[in-house]
A and B are shown apart, each in its own frame.
Chain A
Amino acid sequence: MAKAKHWIEPHPQGVYVRPADIWIDPSGAKQHAVVTHGHADHARGGHGEVWATPETLAIMGLRYGTDAGTPVAYGEGFERGGVRFSLHSAGHVLGSAQVLMEYQGERVVVTGDFKRRPDPTCAPFEPVPCDIFITEATFGLPVFRHPPIAGEIAKIFARLETEPDSSILIGAYALGKAQRVIAELRRAGWDKPIYLHGAQVRMCELYEELGVSLGELRLVMDTPKEEMRGQIIICPPSALIDKWSRRLPSPVTAMASGWMRVRGRARQRGVEIPLVISDHADWDELTGTIRELAPKETWITHGSEDGLLRWCELHQIRARALAMIGREDGDDG
């Protein structure tokens, strides 16, 4: 059996698969790249040849103006330089995939980003047995346990009940988080129009085109201020404290992110309703997935790698941290 350390090379700018001359999620432009999902810290523009799911290609097309690339559906794959690549659902955002690579009898999985919780806007995570599991660890500390989403959504309705004249402004990353929050609001019975910041519109439209229905969406810009009392508005996190939010009547700021679990983080951003909603695996999901797959080795790409590394050590699981750059613990948690 081949030893992964001979054919898979972790570099600060991404994982390089030597026999195939392919990079996975490289942070700079490369000749050949497999892209796991459309978030900017994984999908960069300017690559020569790209393999990704059709949804990820569509998202990259929206962001970088070109959707050239080879679409690979979940469960399907291709071969290059003796390496068999296939993509498997990661449950992170629409189109997000794990990459399974098989070479000379060895199986290696790169998760990109993933979560195990149900999400009405994307396919669920598929556990893929492997020898080497190369995982993210955004929330690789035992303080991060995401509560059930229904309770978080209920916080919004509770505030609207005590302050019916306010407008609830939810900061949510434009790709994935925004649509998930909208879909969960719908599932909880909110059938009024939901208002969008201009920067959220195109991605929501794309989700609709790709078959995720989000109900009636309106632009804040097209709506008179007074009409937005008692309404829910979705905007990019950066707009929460932007001049833009001044056009809303009595805004109450909420933010949907796994980081909201820590009070200091919520306060730092001046968030009044912290919504602990994440598209990443929490501590229990990370450790549970490693237990379930029981790989021979676990490699950790980014996040709180020290914490997950320590857990592996305690459970006598072989693990190493890869120190990837450019994966930031920003707003997309």
Chain B
Amino acid sequence: MRRFAALIDSLIYTRSRNAKLAAISTYLRETPDPDRGWALAALTDSLDFPAVKSSTIRNLAGTRIDPELFRLSRHHVGDTAETVALIWPEAPDREQSDPTVDEVVQALSSTTRATAPDIVASLLDSMDSNSRYALLKLAVGGMRVGVSARLAKTAFAQAFAVPLDDVEELWHALDPPYVALFRWAEEGGKRPDLSTTPFFRPFMLSHPFEGDSLDLGAYAVEWKWDGIRVQAVHLGGETRLYSRGGDDISAAFPDVVEAFDRAGVIDGELLVRGTDQGGEAASFNALQKRLGRKTVSKKMRQEFPAFVRVYDLLIDGEDDLRLLPWHERRQRLEAFVPTLNRDHFDLSAVIDVDDFAALETMRAGARDAAIEGVMLKRRESPYLAGRVTGHWYKWKRDPLNADCVMMYAQRGNGRRASFYSDYTFGCWTEDGELLPVGKAYSGFTDEELKWLDRFVRQNTLNRFGPVREVAKSLVLEVAFDSIHDSKRHKSGLAMRFPRIHRIRKDKPAEEADRIATLRGMIS
């Protein structure tokens, strides 16, 4: 574990992408199987130990240290795993050992909820502080070492001088600790045959459009839908639904999975039809009711029926279409989608628009609940893994804005552990009461964060654990993509993607917006 812990720490403290790549590559080359495979899985959050939760380690800490001291420390450090790693008492006479990553993984995966505390405790007892940190991050997931899956794959490709595209594809088809992947990369063997296995293919991603104009002869236009990006795969008689990050979300959407019965791989937006929406796609709010569920009731399926609005076809039967230009794939797609179950699949239309000026007007006017903006796709582009410049652009409609008053602030996590960086803000009712309408923790610069942090500390009225109530004097201009009805909040409103747009030091709090004004923005 010490070698792995050293890798984790070097990634934490390195900002340079090249240095991160070098650190991972070196580790992968110098570490034997299966440790390096487990490490790779841990870095990309592909390991799951259901018996060990964040609460397991928090409770465990409570057996060795006063819970109040732990709570105070946790607030200071901003991260449960790190707090436990730092606070865990070391018996001075105890000899520290250095178990392999494999030994740790085997121990963690063979535990039940009942045995987990003892097993984790004895591992913690055997390690130094850095290894404890690595162990706990490994156990509960969420490494947060600034390594994306893409970066880890790039490091793998670099370590063994193999093509990144091959790594991308094989990665998702193999399970940790990826022994076959290492063997192939190291010994130059034959690529494992995957033609009949259902697995995730990396998505083609877009860049934000920042130009003034674009040649619509070269680029096709589609609506950008406000759902979640999914890939539906039906190969070898099995069907899977994958989310943006490649997670298998089949269990949450059995209606969609059961309905997809033609061999192929499609790319589209998962949406739900709201009961009120008369068959149209409902807002993201409605979709949220179905997200993150391990199982889904019949009632859920009926009330919030899910469907995929399809916009690309990666594999049609046995043909891999990804190297074909967009317009050829589109033709195949238009033939493919009508053969699918209409309740659960429809085609995302290509928008016919004369020129760029007309497109601008159309985008600005689009306030359909399920539309986020438009997509611009180069007609000649193949389907490329990842975010490659010059092919796909997203052009979101302009955000809505409201002037709100800061009400509460909470400390952030990780890098922001010492800053009050999460703000709850509200707007006025007709009776002059301030009600919370949202919470934001982004949109400001580092300088502004420092200023806001100071404001919170100097204007604290009350402390509730990690939360501070502040004097209702600071106006924040909040930008958000849309706003919806919500039963969860007293104001009856919920914002989507709220972020701090500007700090309005100049504006008196009484002049902030009213709830009624925000209500008028509901799409």
A interface with B by C-beta (< 8 Å): 141-145, 261-268, 270-274, 304, 306-307, 310-311, 314
Report the bound CA distance from A267 to B417 in whole Å: 10
Report the bound CA distance from A148 to B73 in whole Å: 22
- Which of B65, B86, B87, B414 interacts with A267 by CB under 8 Å? B414
What does the 1/0 interface line of B1-41 toward A look like (CB < 8 Å)? 00000000100111100000000000000000000000000
16 additional contacts, CB 8 Å, given A261-B86, A304-B76?
A141-B69, A143-B87, A145-B86, A262-B76, A263-B12, A263-B79, A264-B417, A266-B12, A267-B414, A268-B415, A268-B416, A268-B417, A271-B13, A310-B66, A310-B72, A311-B66
- Which of A265, A273, A274, A307 interacts with B73 by CB under 8 Å? A307
Q: Nearest Cβ distance between residue B288 and chain A, in whole angstroms?
A: 30
The answer to the question of B68 belonging to the interface, with a C-beta cut-off of 8 Å to chain A, is yes
Are A143 and B68 in touch, CB under 8 angstroms?
no
Report the bound CA distance from A307 to B14 in whole Å: 32
Are B73 and A270 in touch, CB under 8 angstroms?
no
Contacts of A145 in B (CB 8 A): 86
Report the bound CA distance from A272 to B82 in whole Å: 18
Are B82 and A262 in touch, CB under 8 angstroms?
yes
Given the contacts A142-B87, A274-B13, A264 and B79 also touching, CB distance less than 8 Å: yes
Given the contacts A262-B417, A263-B82, A311 and B12 also touching, CB distance less than 8 Å: no
Please give me the 6 A-B residue pairs with the lowest Cβ-Cβ distance, nearest first. A264-B417, A143-B86, A143-B73, A267-B415, A141-B73, A307-B72
Are A262 and B77 in touch, CB under 8 angstroms?
yes
Report the bound CA distance from A264 to B411 in whole Å: 12
Report the bound CA distance from A267 to B11 in whole Å: 11
Contacts of A261 in B (CB 8 A): 86
The answer to the question of B274 belonging to the interface, with a C-beta cut-off of 8 Å to chain A, is no
What does the 1/0 interface line of B81-108 toward A look like (CB < 8 Å)? 0110011000000000000000000000
What class of interface size applies to chain B in its complex with A?
20 to 34
Q: Nearest Cβ distance between residue A15 and chain B, in whole angstroms?
A: 23
Are B418 and A311 in touch, CB under 8 angstroms?
no
Contacts of B414 in A (CB 8 A): 263-264, 267
Report the bound CA distance from A193 to B79 in whole Å: 40
The answer to the question of B141 belonging to the interface, with a C-beta cut-off of 8 Å to chain A, is no
Contacts of A271 in B (CB 8 A): 13
Contacts of A143 in B (CB 8 A): 73, 76-77, 83, 86-87
- Which of A265, A272, A314 interacts with B66 by CB under 8 Å? A314
Report the bound CA distance from A145 to B68 in whole Å: 18
Are A142 and B69 in touch, CB under 8 angstroms?
yes
Are A311 and B77 in touch, CB under 8 angstroms?
no
Report the bound CA distance from A261 to B76 in whole Å: 12
Are A262 and B72 in touch, CB under 8 angstroms?
no
User: Which residues B99-147 have CB closer than 8 A to chain A?
Assistant: 133
Q: Nearest Cβ distance between residue A190 and chain B, in whole angstroms?
A: 22
Report the bound CA distance from A57 to B483 in whole Å: 62
Contacts of B83 in A (CB 8 A): 143
What does the 1/0 interface line of B417-438 toward A look like (CB < 8 Å)? 1100000000000000000000
Are A265 and B69 in touch, CB under 8 angstroms?
no
Report the bound CA distance from A141 to B418 in whole Å: 14
Q: Nearest Cβ distance between residue B69 and chain A, in whole angstroms?
A: 5
Contacts of A314 in B (CB 8 A): 66, 69
Report the bound CA distance from A261 to B129 in whole Å: 10
Contacts of B268 in A (CB 8 A): none
- Closest chain A residue to B10, Cβ basis: A272
Are A264 and B69 in touch, CB under 8 angstroms?
no
14 A–B pairs (Cβ distance < 8 Å), ordered by A: A143-B83, A143-B87, A144-B86, A262-B77, A262-B78, A262-B86, A263-B82, A264-B418, A268-B417, A268-B418, A272-B15, A310-B66, A310-B68, A314-B66
Report the bound CA distance from A72 to B447 in whole Å: 43
Report the bound CA distance from A265 to B73 in whole Å: 14
Are A264 and B415 in touch, CB under 8 angstroms?
yes
Q: Nearest Cβ distance between residue B115 and chain A, in whole angstroms?
A: 27
Q: Nearest Cβ distance between residue B84 and chain A, in whole angstroms?
A: 9
Q: Nearest Cβ distance between residue A287 and chain B, in whole angstroms?
A: 11
Given the contacts A143-B73, A143-B86, A273-B13, A264 and B66 also touching, CB distance less than 8 Å: no
- Closest chain A residue to B79, Cβ basis: A264
Report the bound CA distance from A226 to B270 in whole Å: 57
Are A264 and B416 in touch, CB under 8 angstroms?
yes
Are B77 and A264 in touch, CB under 8 angstroms?
yes
Are A141 and B417 in touch, CB under 8 angstroms?
no
Contacts of B72 in A (CB 8 A): 141, 304, 306-307, 310
Given the contacts A264-B416, A304-B76, A310 and B69 also touching, CB distance less than 8 Å: yes
- Which of A266, A307, A311 interacts with B13 by CB under 8 Å? A266
- Closest chain B residue to A142, Cβ basis: B87
- Which of B14, B69, B82, B133 interacts with A311 by CB under 8 Å? B69
Are A142 and B416 in touch, CB under 8 angstroms?
no
Given the contacts A264-B414, A267-B414, A268-B416, A142 and B65 also touching, CB distance less than 8 Å: yes
Contacts of B73 in A (CB 8 A): 141-143, 307
Q: Nearest Cβ distance between residue B341 and chain A, in whole angstroms?
A: 49
Contacts of B415 in A (CB 8 A): 264, 267-268
Q: Nearest Cβ distance between residue B263 and chain A, in whole angstroms?
A: 47
Contacts of B78 in A (CB 8 A): 262, 264
Give the most central of B12, B76, B79: most A CB within 10 Å: B76
Contacts of B86 in A (CB 8 A): 143-145, 261-262
Q: Nearest Cβ distance between residue B456 and chain A, in whole angstroms?
A: 15
Q: Nearest Cβ distance between residue B64 and chain A, in whole angstroms?
A: 10
Contacts of A311 in B (CB 8 A): 66, 69
